[in-house]
Structures are given as C-alpha cells and as structure tokens.
Structure 1
Amino acid sequence: MKICHLTSVHPRNDVRIFHKQCRSLAKNGFDVQLIVADGLGDEVRDQVKIGDVGRLPSRLKRVVITGRRILKKAREINADIYHFHDPELIPVGLLLQCRGKKVVYDVHEDLPRQIISKPWIPPYLRKPISWTAEKIENFLSRFFSAVVTATPFIRDRFLKINSRVVDVNNFPLLEEFSYQPDAEKGQNEICYVGGITKARGIFPLIEALANTTAVLNIAGIYKVPGLRDELSSMPGWEKVVEHGFLDRKGVADLLARSNVGIVTLLPIENYLDSLPVKMFEYMASGLPVIASDFPYWKTIVEKHDCGVCVDPTNPREIAEAIEHFLRDSELAKKVGKNGRKAVEEVFNWSIEEKKMISIYREMMAGNGS
C-alpha cells in the first residue's frame, strides 16, 4: 500500500508527521512518500521518500502556488491514500478525493479556537474569522475518507461531521527517552521545552525563577521579535540557560539531566483541551511535571500522580511548586516514576500507531469512500 503524506507548512523532520507517522508506516511495510515545501530538496530518510516542491517567502504565495505544486506532485505519485496536515491544503485534498482517491485530513489544532489567539489578526476580526473558518472546515471535512485528530477534544467535534474519525494523539516514542531514576541530575536544573511565547507562560515562569534556587534550561525558538530582549530585563533571567532549538537527541539529553519539567501555558481557549506533547515527554523521562491547572490537564496529572498543577499566571505558585520538588528529591523521583509508568501503559506512540494503521486498512478494505 502506498501512502503519501502532504504538508505545506511543517518541516520535513516534524515530530508528528515524519518521526511518528511516516517512520511508523515505513517500519510496518508501507511504501511511504512525504511531500514538503521547505526548499531542502528530495531525499530518502529511514525508508521514507521525501519530495520537496520548494519554499516560497510569503504566506499568500504558499497558499496559492505551493498548493498547486503539491497537488501536481501528489498526482504523479499516484498513492492509494493521501494524508494531508494543513487546513490550507483542504482544496488539494478535495481535488484528490474527487479523482477517486482516499484522503485523510489530519487536524493538528482546533483551528477556530486557534484563530481566536492569533496575535497578528486584529482583535475585532478574530471572532468573525473564527466563526467563518469553523463553518467552512466543518462543511468540507464531511467529504474526506477519514479525519484524524491530535486530541480527543478535536475528535469529538468532527464526530458530528464525518463518519470515520479517530484521535491519533501525539504521545511520545518511548525509545527516545531514557529512564534512569538513579542517574545523576544537574544541580537544581529544571527545563522548559517548546516555542517561547507570551501565551505559553514564559513571563510568569521567569518571574517565578527569582524566588527559587532553580536553573532553568530553555530549549526552543523565540516566536516574536524583541521577546528575548524584554525577558532578559526581568529579575530571574540570570537563572536561565538558553539552548535554542534542539534535535530529538538533544531534547532527550536535556530532559535526562533535568529535575522538573515545566508546561505552564496560559489559559487561552486553544490550550484548555490540548494535549501538550512536552508534558508527556517530561513524564517519559521520569520528570515530575508542573502544569497549568486546566481541568483536563489536572485530571491527567492527579489521576497518575505525576506532578502538580498551578495557576500559570501566578509566579508565586509556580515558584513554590519548583522548590517543592527541588527540596524533596525522593518525592520527585517517586512522582517521576509514576509519570513514566503512565506513559508506558497509556500515553505512548505505539498505541496511537496502531489506531492510525487500523484506519488505513479499514479504508482500503472498501468500507466507505
């Protein structure tokens, strides 16, 4: 069976698309093609054939021209199933579906809720654009062979629209993260891994550092110009060690030497029912988690006793949680062990991989379009 994944936005080494989905399919004997638009050329990596249609500088050109290029290359590949990852490729998916192909729409984010929090959209336009985007996405998604979602919350929205929907959650690859509970850790080192933005709680976190003994390792990219300059003037910044963007091994090594993992995103609508992959990667590495006190996240953390939840806007609560685990290494080790166990049993990619392959086989068996 030939499977072709399509993305105009994500890099070729995207964790969900390449490292999890495409590599899993190739490992299971599928002929896997990945079409990207990053300008880095064609290659074969881990038995996945990567075809590049070139990178364009502007968003408008990407939507109009890159979409046509991806459609042309997709037709040349003549796959059994096409699996696309970006809302802007919905027209491409529809055209492939109209040609009798089986097409999967992979919904990484809850687009309407995501639009509400986009800083580059004028505030007075966000709600009408969000409403319009939801109506269009809902209507067009009914025509695809299947919809795959990154969270159960998004799945439940699409269950009302398409008859074949499954959540394939972005849980960790266990083999990427070593778990050695008695390994030596960095002195009072904690970590935050991910994009660095105001919405992801970086300001309260830096403010909290001033009242702790912690050293914060940050691995990620500053998403807004001038953000780093603003942060560097804050009390607590002297306790930050910047690592920039790290590859998969770099992330695993950083987690292995850290004592606590931080994921204190602010209470923005798009985050409330999300499943932040970094939280589960912290758990996979045996780190106690300090997470935002969103009800959904709190249910996970408390059920598995793998950390604490705090008000992400309150630096004092964040600081107290950090010190709580740094002062009591035995407690941190116990809670970290609980998190690792939860990932081994529930929150791991091997379970999600089976769901993805199952829906492919179901489509090819002829059960519906």
Structure 2
Amino acid sequence: MIRVGMIVNSDFRRDGRVQKESFALAAAGYAVTVFALNTCRPEDEQWAGVRVVNPLSGSLAWFPYKPGYLAVYRQLLSALRREKCDVWHAHDLDVLPFAFVAAKLQGSRLVYDAHEYWQDYDWPGYGGRVSFVRRLLWAAWRRLERRLAGRCDLIITVSEGITRLMAQEFRMPVPLLVRNCVDPVSPAYAGPRLRRVLNLSADVPLVVYTGRLLKGRGLGNLVRALAGLLEMHLALVGEGPMASVLAELAEDMGAAGRVHFVPPVSPLTVPGLISDASLGAALIEDVSLSKRYSLPTKLFEYVAAGLPLLVTGLPEMAALVRRHGMGLVLDDTGPERIKTALEGLLAEPGRLAQLKAGSIRAGRELNWRNEVSLLTHAYAEMAGKPA
C-alpha cells in the first residue's frame, strides 16, 4: 500500500480541503497520515480511515525569531524522519520546506498543494507597518517557494488564475487545478439548520457568511449595509479576530439583534447548516493577487447549499457566478451598493428564486464528486499505480 504523509499547519477538524483530499486518497487505497500541526491533542487519532497526528509541543511559526520556534522546527523534522512515506504532500508554503526535507531523505515523491498565491499574498500586515526584519524573512519565504517548486513531482492549486500565475512565476507547466468544491446537501440531512438555531421563521430574509472573520472579507460593509435593512438578518458562521470588532459595529449601527455569531461547525456539515438561508455573501476585497484570483471554499459551500450568491467582482468568482446565473456580482462593495443590491433582491422574490435555481443547477457540476477524480488520477499517474 502506498503511504502518503500530508503536512498542514492548521486544525484538521476545521480544514475542509485537507479533510476531503485525505479522505478521498484513503478511499482510493492509500495509507494516509496527516500531520495537522495546529490540531489539539489527542496526538494520534483516526478519521474515516485517515490517521491524524500532531507531534508538536508548540506552534509552527512562519518567522522563527524565538528560540522556542527553532525547537519546534527540530521536533517536526524528527517526527517526519520517523514516518516513512512514499509521497509527502505539503499543504501550503509554510510546511513545504519540511515536506521537501522528508522527501529528500526518504527518496519519496513531493506534492505541493498551494491554497494561496504566496508570491503576492495579503500578509503580513494588510498594508500596516511591519518590521524590516519581518519583511526580509517574508521575501526569503517567497524566494524559497520559487526554488522548491521546481523540485516537486506534482503541484496543485485552487483556481485557474492562480495556476497561470504560478506557471509564469516559476517557469513551469501549469499546476493541477483542484477547486474547493463541496458536495450538495443530502436529502437525508437531518442536522441543525440556521433558522432553527437562530429561532427565525422562514419569511425572515437571512444572509449568511461562512469562514474566518478576518479583514479583507468585506464584513464591516456588510454589517453597515444591514443597518438600513430592518427586516434582514445576518449570520456569521465562523470565528476570528474580527468578531469583537463586528459585534461592536453592529451595536453602534443599531443592528446587534440582527447580526448573529454562530460557532464554526465541521466543514462537511456547513452546507446543511446554511441551506435554509436566503443568500450567501462572499465579498472578498482585492488586496492581493492571491485574493483577486481566489475561489474560496465559502463560494462552493453556498452552491452546495443551493443558495444565491452575492460576490465581489473579482475575476474568478465573478466569471463562475455569471456563467451559472447563480448570483449578483458587485464591482462596488461599499455599504450603500450592498444595501441597494439586497433591497433589490428583497423586492423581487422571483429574481431570488431564479438565482437559487441557477445555484442548484451549478451544484450538479461544481461538486467534490466531480473534482476529486482530478486528484486521484494525478496521484495514480505520479505513483505509477493504475488509474
């Protein structure tokens, strides 16, 4: 049996992409171990045939400017050396060097799964001041990515735009595109739904946002827009550093009773939870090339739930939404423009129903059942296993 070692600096319980890929490879007959370096212990557990471990006693930091961070680096490398794998699969740039070392020492294949376009990512700082040393370290990470990309046996990423950017930047063939698609809600789904959780009746307009509550997601303007729509409610399903800021803003705008903070749930249950909302919002701001060409998981969660979408006019998202006729695209995402768009949909229930039908149709194509075959076929070719 071919052994696959995945490495990701996130919480496996909250990382839908890593869950879907690891479960798919396990179902295809691979022995998969995921080193999930931000997952709370127990250190070793089984998830649907996938072994999930976290061998670290501390955090894996991008910038090792404390002695403790270097100790964690050594701890991780020691754990990877002990785990013999035929393929090492790095989820994102921060773990790629460790996967490269493990693959080199063991003569294994190396897969790089870039969830972002790291050569122009909106971090560190969102335009804020960052120390000179920190900027130098970030430049070193980008240079390291360019060097290691040519050593990979397979590179995967999340949108067509990012495949083109990476091919041009690294002077290499176009990477494999595996989007963050999600399977539609099963008719047998019997779990919680938002309206029951929030005690809202079916006639109350309900906008939903899923994912981390971070800057650059248009959430402040969404709350401001809601303040002028007295019938509408907003559910923010997730957590993050913007939560307290958004709660305070909602209070200031007189909308605190209509902005609901819902704790995150298992990624694969998100579509079922949100399936009785009126609309899904993905107002990603154009703060970097990584965001400009993104196709975020939340977009596919809304499609899986059969929801109409309200999205920013960024090229990848806008093209997908327009092609399937499943939502509105906003080139201006100021609060007044968002408010006008939402008011228009409230005034035209027939239009909202039309967009919902477009989303349901899109779900027949944009689902993980279709997308996963790209991953398993590429693995079979790389590993010399019959497809």
Alignment of 1:1-369 (within 5 A): 1-7=2-8, 9-37=9-37, 38-40=39-41, 41-57=43-59, 59=61, 60=64, 64-99=70-105, 100-116=107-123, 118-119=125-126, 122=129, 132-160=140-168, 161=170, 162-163=172-173, 165-175=175-185, 185=202, 187-212=204-229, 213-224=231-242, 226-228=244-246, 230-235=248-253, 236-248=255-267, 251-269=270-288, 270-311=290-331, 313-345=333-365, 347-365=366-384
How far did residue 217 of structure 1 move?
A: 1.1
Assess if the C-alpha contact under 8 Å between 2:4 and 2:85 holds in 1. Answer: yes
When the two chains are superposed, the root-mean-square deviation of aligned CA atoms in Å is 2.9
For each residue in 1:46-92, what CA deviation from the matched residue of structure 2 results, as whole angstroms up to 9, or x when unmatched?
01111221341573368533343333333333111110113222321
Alpha-carbon distance in 1 for matches of 2:349, 2:244: 37
Assess if the C-alpha contact under 8 Å between 2:220 and 2:246 holds in 1. Answer: no
Alpha-carbon distance in 2 for matches of 1:18, 1:116: 22
How many residues were matched structurally?
361
Alpha-carbon distance in 1 for matches of 2:244, 2:207: 24
Query: So what's the TM-score if we normalise by structure 2?
Result: 0.83
Deviates more, 1:131-140 or 1:290-299: 131-140
Alpha-carbon distance in 2 for matches of 1:133, 1:177: 45
The residue identity in structure 2 corresponding to 1:44 is Q
Contiguous gaps of at least 5 residues in structure 1: none
Contiguous gaps of at least 5 residues in structure 2: 190-194, 196-200
SS of structure 1 residue aligned to 2:52: strand
How far did residue 124 of structure 1 move?
A: 7.8
SS of structure 1 residue aligned to 2:121: helix
SS of structure 1 residue aligned to 2:208: strand
Deviates more, 1:293-302 or 1:80-89: 293-302
Alpha-carbon distance in 2 for matches of 1:312, 1:127: 31
Alpha-carbon distance in 2 for matches of 1:253, 1:186: 19
Alpha-carbon distance in 1 for matches of 2:375, 2:275: 30
Query: So what's the TM-score if we normalise by structure 1?
Result: 0.87
* Matched-pair identity in %: 21
Assess if the C-alpha contact under 8 Å between 2:14 and 2:267 holds in 1. Answer: no
Deviates more, 1:124-133 or 1:77-86: 124-133
How far did residue 117 of structure 1 move?
A: 5.9
For each residue in 1:193-221, what CA deviation from the matched residue of structure 2 results, as whole angstroms up to 9, or x when unmatched?
12122311111111101221211111111
Alpha-carbon distance in 1 for matches of 2:220, 2:301: 23
Assess if the C-alpha contact under 8 Å between 2:117 and 2:166 holds in 1. Answer: no
Alpha-carbon distance in 2 for matches of 1:79, 1:262: 40
Change (3 A) 1:274 1:120: same
Alpha-carbon distance in 2 for matches of 1:251, 1:265: 19
The residue identity in structure 1 corresponding to 2:147 is F
Alpha-carbon distance in 2 for matches of 1:195, 1:312: 22
SS of structure 1 residue aligned to 2:116: coil
